[in-house]
């Protein structure tokens, strides 16, 4: 079907957002293509809308199957990140940083019921009307609206602010790293602090302080990560790391680093 290829990029974007995985989106599009080629399309007036519905139905089936077999689903997700002061960024850096943390939404979506997730993604991200979403989730338009609203509250709730004292400690840590103030870094770090990144873990205040000074030439944008204080680090406007801080007793006890 020519229309399928014409709208493939859009359909893949929809499937990726719903499923949270480009690879699974590929599978969804393959199944949708088979269904489309078996269907009678003579009365289809809006090909893009109809194809979006077909792909969404496939994705909903895949989400339901995933929930029945969670042990088979190993999705790598970014933490939930909210920039504290995005207005302080120049437009280019803001756009780049937004790209880096946009995937963070997936960790919240994973906690939603399949119908909630689909209704939220279709309506809030792709402006699909509730009248079109309703038959996909086998609900009335009003019920589809409630599903999206409930999901929206969960997403917004993930953006809760971090304690002010914790943010101040992270700010001080960033300043000390930028200034190369090794002694100040040691004061802010717990003696047994651990810096985790991928499969690597650096332990001890001395070692972590030495590693922190490598970020001196990078720009740190304050952020809330999974409800805790953190930063998005950029270099020449390009996001290079997302750092989440665990703080106890006025000192940093752990730093978890992710690469966007």
For residue 63, give both structure tokens.
């989400």
pLDDT band at 241 (very low <50, low <70, confident <90, very high): confident
Write the CA distances from 257 to 91, 230, 231, integer angstroms.
25, 10, 10
Q: Which domains, ranges and CATH numbers included, belong to the chain?
A: 2-72 (1.10.1740), 164-258 (3.10.450.50)
At 144-166, the pLDDT tens digits run: 999 999 888 776 655 455 567 88
For residue 82, give both structure tokens.
């909210």
Give the model's pLDDT for residue 223. 76
Give the model's pLDDT for residue 152. 83
- Tokens 């801080």, residue? 245
| Segment among 82-96, 117-131, 180-194, 212-226 with least mean pLDDT | 82-96
CB 228 within 8 A of CB 246: yes
Give the model's pLDDT for residue 1. 61
At residue 18's C-alpha, the angle toward residues 15 and 21, to 5°, is: 70
Give the model's pLDDT for residue 236. 63
For residue 88, give both structure tokens.
């302080």
- Tokens 């399928």, residue? 4
84 CB burial (10 A radius; 0-12, 13-18, 19+): middle
pLDDT band at 215 (very low <50, low <70, confident <90, very high): low
Which helix or strand (DSSP H or E) is residue 190 part of?
Answer: strand 189-197
Average pLDDT over the chain, rounded to an integer:
80
- State what percent of residues in the chain have pLDDT above 70: 76
Give the model's pLDDT for residue 192. 95
Cα separation, 260 vs 239, in Å, equals 7
Which residue did the predictor score with more confidence, 78 or 231? 231
CB 84 within 8 A of CB 224: yes
- Tokens 């940093």, residue? 252
If one counts every other C-beta atom within 10 angstroms of the C-beta of residue 101, the result is: 21
For residue 74, give both structure tokens.
């190993």
For residue 105, give both structure tokens.
């939404």
For residue 206, give both structure tokens.
């001395």
Give the model's pLDDT for residue 105. 57
For range 109-117, the mean pLDDT: 84
Cα separation, 40 vs 133, in Å, equals 21
Is it the case that residue 40 has pLDDT exceeding 90? no
For range 164-184, the mean pLDDT: 88
Reference 99, options 78, 117, 84, 85; nearest CA is: 78
What b-and-e string marks burial along 146-174, b requiring 16 or more CB atoms within 10 Å of the CB?
ebbeebeeebeebeeebeeebbebbebbb
- Local structure of 135: helix, strand or coil: helix
Please report the DSSP string for 54-91 in residue order. HHHHHHHHHHHHHHH-GGG--------EEES-GGGS-H
């Amino acid at each position: 079907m020519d229309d399928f290829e014409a709208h493939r990029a859009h359909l893949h974007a929809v499937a990726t957002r719903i499923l949270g995985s480009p690879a699974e989106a590929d599978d969804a599009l393959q199944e949708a293509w088979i269904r489309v080629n078996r269907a009678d399309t003579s009365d289809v007036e809006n090909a893009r809308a109809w194809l979006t519905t077909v792909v969404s139905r496939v994705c909903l089936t895949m989400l339901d199957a995933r929930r029945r077999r969670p042990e088979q689903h190993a999705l790598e997700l970014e933490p939930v990140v909210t920039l504290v002061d995005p207005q302080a960024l120049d437009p280019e850096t803001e756009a780049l940083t937004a790209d880096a943390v946009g995937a963070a939404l997936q960790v919240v979506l994973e906690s939603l019921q399949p119908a909630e997730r689909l209704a939220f993604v279709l309506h809030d991200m792709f402006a699909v009307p509730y009248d079109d979403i309703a038959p996909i989730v086998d609900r009335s338009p009003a019920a589809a609206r409630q599903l999206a609203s409930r999901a929206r509250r969960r997403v917004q709730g993930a953006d809760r602010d971090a304690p002010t004292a914790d943010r101040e400690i992270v700010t001080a840590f960033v300043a000390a790293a930028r200034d190369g103030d090794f002694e100040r870094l040691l004061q802010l770090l717990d003696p047994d602090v651990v810096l985790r990144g991928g499969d690597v873990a650096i332990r001890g205040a001395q070692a972590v302080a030495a590693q922190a000074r490598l970020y001196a030439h990078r720009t740190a944008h304050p952020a809330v990560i999974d409800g805790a204080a953190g930063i998005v680090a950029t270099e020449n406007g390009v996001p290079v790391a997302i750092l989440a801080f665990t703080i106890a007793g006025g000192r940093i006890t752990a730093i978890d680093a992710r690469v966007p």
